């Protein structure tokens, strides 16, 4: 009796679905069986050609878990759900099988009627051809999904990295933000979500803020600073002023106060705000490492007060 082989693709990416492949190969030996191996060891062209023949001549199914589901369930429960979805679909096709072998060392069919027919095999995608075939169809299906996704979100390069955390992908996340296809429970997406800077509420507030920032920038220039950027924004953080002096790079948070009664800038730096400032500075330096790797990073705060926009104070944070 045939074997039902099961394998997953997409456990580790920062975006896109988790996909489980399930395959029952023909009982009669086929020439293309000799080409079956772990999908990661095949070229994209070879995977595509094998996928066509596997799907045409075998009994196959796919179990999908979307990024949003994965965030709610966690990776282990998502693997369990995707596996059961794939097996349920296979069962609906009424192709008989004698046993189920799952790649890895966890039986995701425990506490089901199929548990007693199921075993696991570490590196099964390199040892058992049914699992190899399952890894191929899951990989091809997921890659196709991510390629289609790249037309919907063209700034992220999903067609190239298919959701994995490459440098290009991470830079796109910091520049353009997270999409609904990103896994918000995975780092660095989780940290980015947790440190979104509050946005200014009104045009008047924005104008006041910009004017205060300009006053502080001019002050820093007079103190020998070089202004690198002013009002640096991404979807998840903003830095009012970035400047350098000697061998230091300063990240300045500008606070406007109507008068001195409201305190100086340090009074507005709560623990949560300080975490945001650290996150913003670290994120900026991460993607400008070559420019500022020899600089000592420092956080600073400035306070601008009075109707005439007078700078009250500027100082690095301890």
Q: Could you report the per-residue pLDDT of 127-162, keeping only the tens digit for each?
A: 999 999 999 999 999 999 999 999 999 999 999 999
In this structure, the number of other CB atoms found within 10 A of the CB of residue 154 comes to 10
Distances (CA, A) of 298 to 203, 261, 277, 294: 30, 27, 10, 13
Break the chain into its structural domains and give their ranges: 3-188, 203-316
SS3 letters across 106-168: CCCCCCCCCHHHEEEECCHHHCCHHHHHHHHHHHHHHHHHHHHHHHHCCCCCHHHHCCCCCHH
Residue pLDDT, tens place only, 262-287: 455 566 677 878 888 888 898 888 87
Paired with 248 in beta bridges are 245, 296
This model's pTM is above 0.75:
no
Give residue-wise pLDDT tens across range 104-122. 999 999 999 999 999 999 9
Q: What is the third-level CATH fold of 203-316? A: Trna Endonuclease; Chain: A, domain 1 (3.40.1350)
What is the C-alpha to C-alpha distance for residues 289 and 81, in angstroms, rounded to an integer? Answer: 41
Confidence of residue 209 (pLDDT cuts 50, 70, 90): confident
Predicted confidence at residue 185, as pLDDT, reads 92
**Band of the pLDDT at 202, cuts 50, 70, 90?**
very low
Q: What is the pLDDT of residues 154-179, one digit of tens each?
A: 999 999 999 999 999 998 888 888 89
How many Å separate Cα 259 from the centre of its chain? 43
Q: Is the pLDDT score of 258 beyond 70?
A: no
CATH tag for 3-188 (out of 3.30.360.10, 3.40.50.300, 3.30.420.10, 1.50.10.10):
3.30.420.10
Contact 21, 134 (CB under 8 A): yes
Pairwise CA distance, residues 296 & 6, whole Å: 51
Local confidence band at 201 (pLDDT 50, 70, 90 cut-offs): very low
Q: How far apart, in whole angstroms, are the C-alpha atoms of residue 163 and residue 13?
A: 5
Q: Identify the H or E element spanning 253.
A: strand 248-257
């Amino acid at each position: 009796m045939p074997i039902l082989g099961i394998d997953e693709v997409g456990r580790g990416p920062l975006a896109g679905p988790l996909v489980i492949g399930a395959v029952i190969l023909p009982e009669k030996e086929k020439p293309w069986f000799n080409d079956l191996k772990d999908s990661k060891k095949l070229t994209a062209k070879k995977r595509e050609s094998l996928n066509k023949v596997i799907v045409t001549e075998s009994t196959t199914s796919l179990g999908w878990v979307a990024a949003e589901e994965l965030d709610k369930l966690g990776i282990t429960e998502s693997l369990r759900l995707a596996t059961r979805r794939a097996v349920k679909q296979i069962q609906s096709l009424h192709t008989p099988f004698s046993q189920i072998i799952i790649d890895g060392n966890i039986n995701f069919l425990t506490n089901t009627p199929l548990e007693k027919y199921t075993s696991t095999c570490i590196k099964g995608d390199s040892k058992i051809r049914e699992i190899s075939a399952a890894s191929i169809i899951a990989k091809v299906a997921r890659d196709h999904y991510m390629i289609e996704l790249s037309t919907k979100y063209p700034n992220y390069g999903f067609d190239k990295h298919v959701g994995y955390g490459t440098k290009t992908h991470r830079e796109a996340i910091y520049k353009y933000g997270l999409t609904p296809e990103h896994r918000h429970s995975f780092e660095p997406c989780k940290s980015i979500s947790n440190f979104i800077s509050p946005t200014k509420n009104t045009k008047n507030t924005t104008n006041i803020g910009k004017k205060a920032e300009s006053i502080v920038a001019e002050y820093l220039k007079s103190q020998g600073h070089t202004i690198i950027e002013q009002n640096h924004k991404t979807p998840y953080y903003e830095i009012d002023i970035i400047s350098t002096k000697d061998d230091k790079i300063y990240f300045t948070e500008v606070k406007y106060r109507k008068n001195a009664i409201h305190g100086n800038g340090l009074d507005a730096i709560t623990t949560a705000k300080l975490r945001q400032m650290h996150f913003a500075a670290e994120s900026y330096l991460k993607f400008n490492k070559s420019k500022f790797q020899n600089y000592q990073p420092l956080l600073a705060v400035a306070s601008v007060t009075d109707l005439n926009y007078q700078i009250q104070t500027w100082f690095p944070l301890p």
